[in-house]
Structure 1
Amino acid sequence: MPIAEDPEPRPSEGREPDGTAPSGPDGKDPFADLVLDEEFVQGASVKEQAGRTRMLAAQWKHTPPVDPGGRRSVNDGPAPKKRFARKARPADPWGNPRPRRSPEWRTPLFVLLAVAVVLAALNVDGLRNWYEKRTGGDSASAAPVEPVAPATAPPTTAPPQADPKQPTVDRPWAGSPAEGWPTSITVFEPKEPPAATGVFTAQQVADQVKLVKEYLAATNLDPKVVAGGRPEAALAMLDPETRQDAEKALAKPSRESDPTSWFSRFDARDAIPVGDTYRLQGWITVEGDGKRGVLVHTDFTFVYPVRPGPDAAKRAMAPKPSRPPGPSGAPAPTGPGAGDGAVKPVGLLTPVDDVAGDTWTARTLVRRIATFRFYDPAKYDVERGKIYFESNQSDVANSECDVDDGYYHPQFDQFAAAQAPNPNQSGPTSDPYDLTQPPDPSDVCGTVSRS
């Protein structure tokens, strides 16, 4: 190990036993003018080792150091390849593994969110239109719908046009004037309180109005009947002769004897009601029959939201039957078993993929105008508590024409592209929500402006 050397041979101390001056060539000390400043230290050709260096050198002379691993030198050769291209874990200078840092994912996410917010702000109208098309609503759809009071007389104007929104399972009433209509027939009463009429007291007339409302509810608002079930409760309320005709129609439906003239029903293979609450609007009036009896007049429109059944698409593509046209302007038959003119929707839309909650739905409207007669029991052989028809007429909007199997068959917008044309569709376009006029009496297949 090198050590520091004197710059020149050190002269003898020069101190003679007799105490004379130092000896030398000229009697001068060579270190007399030496200054140990910073310049002298930095210019030294030989450096003194640190104390720790000398200590470790002495220790490693007898006990060589051991490589703890984790660090490599240029003499170790190429690093071995890792399986599956995994990187070696980083280590600190002492060989201890450092914890891995998780990838920074927040910054890209914040950038994407910021871009989305900016794009939405720049195209608010486009975003609203997309939402309305998909859900049939808008940002204010959660606001409560203004209820419509039960009618007591024919209206003077048709309901205003609503924004055309595609109804879905989540929003079956979107775009319909019926969204605020009542859901129960019990809220409807004659404009004037029932009074004594003919041989019946005021209370008896009120009971007759109640019986009529119960019958209309059993035939048009019972969820089991609307879903295609047998209307046992309604059949039990009919007079014997009318019940026999209705049961015959249920057993063997035909154009002359169609059960839908009495009952609102859908085939679950084709159309499934959405929920068990339907909406209606109409009015009731009472008068004497001139023979000491009572006539109860009713005019109600029932609206049913439905979604496609398992066979709806196949039925839409099936060819439609044709029939010889009837006499021009021929009135539709009335009374029990009367036929009705079905109509088809217009403005069919482009189909989209159905998803849960967003499945497109349709609505079918049934308007029933009927007069119920309560005879004077002293003059006529009648059963108390039974329904007797004086007249009965029905009109259906959005049900396949010329199908007399005892069910309504609505048409759905998502199958419009595959919809087979109907050769019998030749009637005029009408608004089924316009209750200011009676329905068209001709038995033709027309179109509706909205449903």
Structure 2
Amino acid sequence: MSDEEWAKFVQDSARGIPDSAPKEPSARARMVTERLRQQEARGELPEGWRSGPSLRETQRRATRKRRLWAILGLPVAALLAVVAMRPSLLPGDPFGAGDAEAAVSPLPAETAAPTAAPGAVDPQTPTLERPFAGSPALRWADGAAGIVVPEATAVGTLSKAQVEKALQQSRKLLIDANLDPATLRGERPAAALAALEPRQKDLLTLLNTALSKPDRKHDPLSMFSRFDPRRLRLVGDVVKTRGRMTFKAGEHASVVVHADYTFVYPVARVDESASTEVARTIVRRALDLEFSDPRKYVVTPGRITVVRYDRDIGNSACDVYDGFLHPRFSTAGATDEPTGAPPSGPTADPYDRSRDLSENGEKACGVVSRT
């Protein structure tokens, strides 16, 4: 073989050697290997350093892990079960479970008279943070949002626009008389009084006397919801509202608006010693309001003629006629709160909107089944 052929053979052979072919270890690798061999001979290396933990050591570690889980597992499982049922117990309420009001879906608007009282709810105690806990009103609308007027249509000689105006005036009267903060604080409901027909002198005289000198025959609570600001304060800024509004043709070239609404008021005492307890008063009102055609009858345009007004009050002291609502609390407070006579009437559910208020008459003050 010539020199050129031999050189070509060597070059081709070197090119065909794969990277995985055995290579001679470096001098440093040979030193480390020799040192480890000598340490192993002297017994300085742990057992199984070449092959990993022995079977005995592996079993020992598994036993220790099982014992640890046996000790910690039961308390952890119990804690997880409690948190699953009551997530609000966690500090800071990370899941938002404590904000039950935000999690509950609201009821659709009431379009017809209910056939029964609302179903039972979890018996929870109301707090300053959750004043409607344990109440069917938790799913009701907030304040004026719960007073929805129906779509207007022409009635008799009144146009659709006139009927729409009558509905809006009725809504405003309900708000001014039952939801306005000043009215609830016991101030004079000037806006509500100004909305009434001035020719209804008997009604206006009765209401003005009731506001200045209330007594059994002159009670402002017949039309207005009021609390004594020296004793009570509204908890939060929400009053729950539920009801409906309808209209029909009246006898005096008019439209008669029928309003039937229930308002739920959460209140607490003003005195600091018992300010954490929350009580709820439930007031249901049914009114018939007439708007006559000013072209046919002598009426004041834009004013409301009150044909009928009924009320039913749940959880307020009986036979107390000072012009304010007085809910009952479970504990005594520092403030001298009027208690009135003990309830003597039948037990009733103040949330039951299926009852006809016109059948109440002058029944004795009864006991409420829930608040």
- Name the counterpart of 2:350: 432
SS state of the match for residue 224, structure 1? helix
What aligned pairs does 1:3-18 form with structure 2 within 5 A after superposition?
A: none
* 8 A contact 2:253–2:296 mirrored in 1: no
What is the alpha-carbon distance in structure 2 between the residues aligned to residue 139 and residue 292 of structure 1? Answer: 55
Aligned CA distance change for structure 1 residues 122 and 180 (closer, same or farther; 3 Å): closer
| Mapped pair 1:248 → 2:209 | yes
1:349 counterpart residue number: none
8 Å Cα contact 1:401-1:445 kept in structure 2:
yes
1:446 maps onto 2:363 in alignment: no
Shift of 1:188: 3.9
1:266 aligns with 2:184: no
Structure 2: distance between partners of 1:442 and 1:249: 18
Greater shift, 244-253 or 204-213, is seen at 244-253
In structure 2, give the amino acid aligned to 1:299: D
Give the match's secondary structure for 1:367: strand
The answer as to whether partners of 1:153 and 1:284 remain within 8 angstroms in 2 is no
Counterpart residue type for residue 233 of structure 1:
A
CA distance in 1, matches of 2:298, 2:141: 37
The match for 2:329 is 412
The correspondence for 2:134, drawn from 168, 171, 175, is 175
Q: Does 1:204 pair with 2:124?
A: no
Cα drift, residue 293 of structure 1: 1.0
> Which ranges of structure 1 fall in alignment gaps of 5 or more residues?
1-113, 312-352
SS in 1 for 2:177: helix
Q: CA deviation at 1:140?
A: 5.7
Q: Distance in 1 between the 2:339 and 2:179 partners?
A: 32
Question: Counterpart of 2:119?
Answer: 160
Amino acid at match of 2:136: P
Whole-angstrom distance in 2 between the partners of 1:276 and 1:261: 23
For residues 354 and 389 of structure 1, do their structure 2 counterparts lie closer, same or farther at Cα, with a shift above 3 Å needed?
closer
Query: TM-score if structure 1 supplies the norm length?
Result: 0.58
The answer to whether the Cα contact below 8 Å between 1:295 and 1:371 also exists between their aligned partners in 2 is: yes
Q: 2:288 aligns with which of 348, 368, 371?
A: 371
1:289 aligns with 2:250: yes
Matches within 5 A, 1:137-156: 139=97, 141-142=99-100, 144-156=103-115
Tell which structure's C-alpha radius of gyration is larger: 1
Task: Determine the C-alpha separation between the residues in 2 that align with 1:415 and 1:139.
Answer: 32
Distance in structure 1 (CA, Å) of the matches to 2:237 and 2:129: 14
User: Secondary structure of 2:103's match?
Assistant: coil
Note closer, same or farther for the CA distance 1:362–1:144 as it changes in structure 2 (3 Å cut): same
Matches within 5 A, 1:19-168: 121=79, 124=82, 128=86, 139=97, 141-142=99-100, 144-168=103-127
Question: Hey, what's the Cα distance between the residues in 2 that align with 1:263 and 1:423?
Answer: 22
Instruction: Tell me how far 1:255 sits from its aligned partner.
Output: 0.8
Unpaired runs of at least 5, structure 2: 1-71
Using the alignment, how far apart are the partners of 2:145 and 2:236 within structure 1? Answer: 20
Identity of aligned residues (%): 40
Question: Is the contact between residue 308 and residue 412 of structure 1 (CA under 8 Å) also seen in structure 2?
Answer: no
What residue is the counterpart of 1:400 in the other structure? 317
- Offset of residue 269 of structure 1: 2.4
- Residues 163 and 381 from structure 1, CA distance in 2 versus in 1: closer, same or farther, beyond 3 angstroms? same
Aligned 8 A contact 1:152 1:189 in 2: no
1:300 aligns with 2:261: yes
The aligned amino acid for 2:113 is P
Partners of 1:305 and 1:364 within 8 A in 2: yes
Aligned to 1:350: none
Distance change in 2, residues 1:170/1:208 (3 Å): same
Matched residue, 1:43: none
Which amino acid is the alignment partner of residue 227 of structure 1? R
CA RMSD of aligned residues (A): 3.3
Quick check: which one's helix share is greater? 2
Conserved in 1, the CA contact under 8 Å of 2:317 and 2:326?
A: yes
Structure 2 CA distance for aligned equivalents of residues 280 and 161 of structure 1: 18
User: TM-score w.r.t. structure 2 length?
Assistant: 0.69
1:232 to partner: Cα distance: 1.6
**Cα pair 1:371 1:392 within 8 Å, conserved:** yes
Cα displacement (A) at 1:165:
0.6
- 392 and 221 in structure 1: CA distance in 2 versus 1, 3 angstrom threshold: same
Q: Give the match's secondary structure for 2:244.
A: strand
Query: What amino acid is aligned across from residue 180 of structure 2 in structure 1?
Result: D
Report the secondary structure of 1:393's partner residue: strand
